[in-house]
Amino acid sequence: MLLIAAIGKMRQGPERELVTRYRTRIRPRLEITELSEARGALTEKRRQEGSALLHATRGNYQRVALDEGGTVFDSIGFAAAIDKILSHGKGVAFLIGGAEGLDQAALDECALKISFGRMTWPHMMVRCMLAEQLYRARSISSGHPYHRATRP
């Protein structure tokens, strides 16, 4: 199973429609758990949100953090990393923190940290990009022609 656990709730609009479009195509099914933003001082907010993300992803999951300091994969490498986790009979849970990012305790519980580059992305766009990359990764793994490994 694939799971995105994210802080904040997506509203109706193009980002939600795009995530939904990819969700319906991905196998194994992509689940999304949205958690409320915490309130308070920065460190307390990050701690509460990190704790909520860890609680939401307990069970038979390998946790993967989306973090600017994580590994930058190409699509084929990302597909291989996902395949490796799934081949061990575990689900993959992707943690997307709130506006303040993930606290260290949550990062420490993640076996893998990935980054979409050094630029800052809006959190709702990160969900869209992750859903698309998960669809691409599963397409690569199944031999579907969606991904083109060479440029025209």
DSSP letter, residue 113 = E
Taking each helix axis from N to C end, the angle separating 123-142 and 75-87, rounded to the nearest 10 degrees, works out to 70
Q: Is 47 annotated as a binding residue?
A: no
Q: What CA–CA distance (Å, rounded) separates 3 from 137?
A: 14
Paired tokens of 115: 């980054």
Q: Is 77 annotated as a binding residue?
A: no
Q: What CA–CA distance (Å, rounded) separates 98 from 93?
A: 16
Q: Is 69 annotated as a binding residue?
A: no
Q: Residue 142 is which amino acid? A: S
Q: What angle do CA 50, 26, 127 make, to 5 degrees?
A: 35
Q: Is 25 annotated as a binding residue?
A: no
Q: Is 121 annotated as a binding residue?
A: yes
Q: Is 78 annotated as a binding residue?
A: no
Q: Is 117 annotated as a binding residue?
A: yes
Q: Is 66 annotated as a binding residue?
A: yes
Q: Which residues are annotated as a binding site for S-adenosyl-L-methionine?
A: 66, 97, 116-121
Binding residues: 66, 97, 116-121
